[in-house]
């Protein structure tokens, strides 16, 4: 759903982004030889604005998105906005579209920052100009199942990322390649695809657009971000919250066979929040997991959602008020 305004600023290679401006949401003009169109030189981020009961607007750890974009831009040989410029641009975009932020408990305003190589380049090289843009859309649940448990399929024929590639940065070129496996899985009734490492096909990596956790007793495990896995901001926050709640959290290699013994499995991400997994199918074997009331997943989701929406006190300095 389109909103009223978007934020946009440009800079040339070797320069710094300055203050951008808000303009009415609409199409942008690109040269056919733009770097992003020809060579996929682009990054995106995703974060949300939430409305408090008193009408105030909140952002959750926006500086982490800014840092991740800078890391990605360095990997993709791109200019990037400063952390302060990034966060200020988010605030401007939220305020300009504040009428689109849903009421408390009804959703959030999803914010999509884009960093694009928009300058013309025919030979393979970094673009001579870059555009930083943010648009927004009100959203509810990411998956069509809503808050119902997800049913995942372990993919063995396609890889999401490979060692020493770009799996650990949020480049646009990481996402279209997952569509074929995702579409095939959805045709078979699954919610999404769980990928394995490309080297051994024995270790869990991540779902198409979110991180994965498994829980056994008081121990929670998630694949370590070893260069092929995106370092999710929700992932990072959930790990900290879980440790605060007394859980042992391990970031390590997680073998696919550990799915057999797990009590719970859940996914994390800006779009999905903390989403329970009801089943995973691997080599035609379906494994089912505990979901619903009293689960670790629900406990962690309630806590992070409460912090994000202002109903639980933020003792970590994660919340940024928009005013």
Residues contacting residue 125 through CB under 8 Å, at least 6 positions apart: none
Residues 88-95 have a mean pLDDT of: 98
Residues contacting residue 126 through CB under 8 Å, at least 6 positions apart: 13, 35, 41, 77, 78, 117
- Determine what percent of the chain is predicted with pLDDT higher than 70: 98
Contacts 24+ apart (CB under 8 A), 222-227: 222/249, 222/250, 222/251, 222/254, 223/251, 223/252, 223/253, 223/254, 224/251, 224/252, 224/253, 225/168, 225/251, 227/163, 227/164, 227/165, 227/167, 227/168
The answer to whether the beta carbons of residues 205 and 181 sit under 8 Å apart is no
Domains of the chain: 3-138 (3.30.470.10), 148-307 (3.20.10.10)
The answer to whether the beta carbons of residues 58 and 49 sit under 8 Å apart is yes
Residues 310-317 have a mean pLDDT of: 97
Residues 103-160: pLDDT tens digits?
998 999 999 999 999 999 999 999 999 999 999 999 986 655 557 899 999 999 999 9
Tokens of 68: 């991740």
Q: What is the pTM of this model?
A: 0.95
Alpha-carbon distance 42 to 36, whole Å?
6
- The position carrying tokens 């309630």 is 302
Using CB atoms within 10 A of its CB, is residue 15 exposed (0-12), middle (13-18) or buried (19+)?
Answer: exposed
Residues 199-246: pLDDT tens digits?
999 999 999 999 999 999 999 999 999 899 999 999 999 999 999 999
Catalytic residue among 48, 91, 170, 202: 170
The answer to whether the beta carbons of residues 268 and 296 sit under 8 Å apart is no
Query: 98 an active-site residue?
Result: no
The answer to whether the beta carbons of residues 213 and 258 sit under 8 Å apart is no
């Amino acid at each position: 759903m389109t909103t009223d305004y978007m934020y946009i600023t440009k800079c040339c290679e070797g320069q710094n982004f300055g203050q951008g401006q808000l303009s009415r949401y609409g199409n942008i003009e690109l040269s056919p030889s733009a770097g992003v169109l020809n060579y996929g030189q682009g990054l995106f981020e995703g974060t949300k604005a939430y409305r408090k009961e008193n009408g105030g607007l909140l952002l959750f750890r926006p500086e982490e998105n800014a840092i991740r974009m800078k890391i990605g831009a360095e990997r993709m040989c791109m200019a990037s906005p400063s952390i302060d410029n990034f966060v200020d641009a988010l605030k401007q975009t939220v305020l300009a579209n504040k009428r689109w932020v849903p009421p408390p408990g009804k959703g959030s305003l999803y914010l999509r920052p884009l960093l694009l190589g928009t300058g013309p380049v025919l030979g393979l090289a970094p673009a001579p100009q870059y555009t930083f843009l943010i648009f927004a859309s009100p959203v509810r649940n990411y998956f069509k199942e809503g808050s119902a448990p997800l049913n995942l399929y372990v993919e063995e024929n396609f890889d999401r990322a490979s060692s020493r590639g770009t799996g650990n940065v949020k480049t646009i070129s990481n996402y279209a390649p997952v569509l074929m496996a995702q579409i095939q899985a959805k045709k078979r009734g699954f919610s999404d695809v769980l990928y394995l490492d490309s080297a051994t096909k024995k270790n869990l990596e991540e779902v198409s657009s979110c991180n994965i956790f498994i829980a056994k007793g008081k121990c929670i495990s998630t694949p370590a971000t070893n260069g092929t896995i995106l370092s999710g901001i929700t992932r990072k926050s959930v790990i900290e919250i879980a440790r605060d709640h007394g859980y042992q959290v391990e970031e390590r290699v997680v073998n696919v066979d550990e799915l057999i013994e797990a009590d719970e499995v859940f996914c994390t991400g800006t779009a999905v929040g903390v989403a329970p997994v009801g089943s995973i199918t691997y080599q035609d074997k379906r494994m089912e997991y505990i979901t619903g009331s009293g689960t670790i997943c629900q406990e962690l989701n309630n806590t992070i959602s409460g912090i994000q929406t202002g109903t639980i006190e933020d003792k970590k300095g994660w919340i940024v008020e928009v005013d």
